[in-house]
Structure 1
Amino acid sequence: MTLTLSVEDAAALWTAAAAKTMRTSALTHEDVLDTLGACEEAEIADCLAALLLPIDLAGCRAQDLRIDAVPVLAAVPPVAALGLLGPPGRQAA
Structure 2
Amino acid sequence: MYVVLVYDISGDDDGQKVLGKVFKICKKYLTHIQNSVFEGELTEGQIVKLNAELNKFIRKSLDSVIIFKSRNERWLNKEFWGKQDDATSNFF
Report the TM range for the smaller structure's normalisation.
Answer: under 0.3
Bigger relative CO (Cα 8 Å, ≥ 6 apart): 2
Larger Rg: 1
TM-score, structure 2 normalization: 0.28
TM-score, structure 1 normalization: 0.27
